[in-house]
Amino acid sequence: MNYEDTLGKIMYDEETIAKRVAELGAQISADYERDYPGEELLCITILKGGAVFASDLLRRLTVDARIDFMAVSSYGSSTKSSGVVRINKDLDTDIEGKNVLIVEDIIDSGLTLHYLIETLWYRGPKSIKICTFLNKPARRRVDLPVDYIGFDIENRFIVGYGLDYDEKYRNLPYITCLDEE
Ligand code: IMP
Ligand code: MG
């Protein structure tokens, strides 16, 4: 079986993704220049999915931007988020007094980030904002303020551009979904 057979149509191609990432980078840079002039911006990316988007976004930021990574896993089964998160890899950076921008691939129930943000606030950052490339608003189970969104999408299982199904398809340069037929 050709592994492309299990995928649906391309939802966002490379050109569309690049254009939206550039727009987000410009908007984020303008906002931080206005609200926190001259201050550094620490982007925190959640591994692994967020890494592809983050590396593109970082190159579109014109402020003094840094990057650090975290790896988390949620307790419970892999398909059902329990809202309790274990930190498998913590930040190298002390975030006290810093402006933090969390860079995510996709927000689904919102439980992972909801928990993570609570943990990060305890470390005394100056600000925390959230940027996600994809957002599934219909699936949200907690109130989560999302500051920057690439695209709002319907409830499909998305792969490509860093997003995986069982670790597969992260390498696709476009966004598509699993074919549910
Ligand atoms: P949440 O806690 O339900 O918001 O879970 C978000 C995480 O689940 C994301 O960071 C992804 O790693 C994963 N996820 C949620 N929806 C999808 C999807 O459609 N495709 C691939 N991964 C997804
Ligand atoms: Mg993720």
Which atom number of ligand 1 is nearest to the Cα of residue 164? Answer: 21
Distance between Cα 21 and ligand 2 center (Å): 17
How many domains are contained in the chain?
Answer: 1
Instruction: State the pLDDT at residue 1.
Output: 45
**Which protein residue has the closest C-alpha to ligand 1 atom 11?**
106
Is 13 an annotated catalytic residue?
A: no
Structural domain of 44: 14-157
Where residue 2 falls among pLDDT bands split at 50, 70, 90?
Answer: low
**Which protein residue has the closest C-alpha to ligand 1 atom 15?**
108
Q: Is residue 8 assigned to a domain?
A: no
151/164 Cα distance (integer angstroms): 18
Specify the 3-state DSSP secondary structure of 149: strand
Q: Which of 140, 70, 84, 131 is nearest to 104 (CA)?
A: 131
Q: Is residue 135 assigned to a domain?
A: yes
Which atom number of ligand 1 is nearest to the Cα of residue 108? Answer: 4
Residue 159 Rama label (left phi>0; alpha psi -120 to 50; beta): beta
Q: Is residue 29 assigned to a domain?
A: yes
Residues contacting 114, CB < 8 A, separation 6+: 83, 142, 144
Q: Is residue 175 assigned to a domain?
A: no
Angle at 46 between CA 42 and CA 50, to 5 degrees: 95
Question: What lines the ligand 1 site, CB under 6 Å?
Answer: 49, 81, 104-112, 157-158, 163
pTM: 0.93
Q: Is residue 86 assigned to a domain?
A: yes
As a whole number, mean pLDDT of residues 142-161 equals 96
Q: Is residue 142 assigned to a domain?
A: yes
pLDDT tens sequence across 116-142: 999 999 999 999 999 999 999 999 999
* Domain at 88, CATH number: 3.40.50.2020
Instruction: State the pLDDT at residue 74.
Output: 74
Instruction: State the pLDDT at residue 84.
Output: 78
Q: Which of 159, 111, 115 is nearest to 133 (CA)?
A: 159
Q: Please report, for the chain, how many H helices and E strands are present, in that order.
A: 3, 8
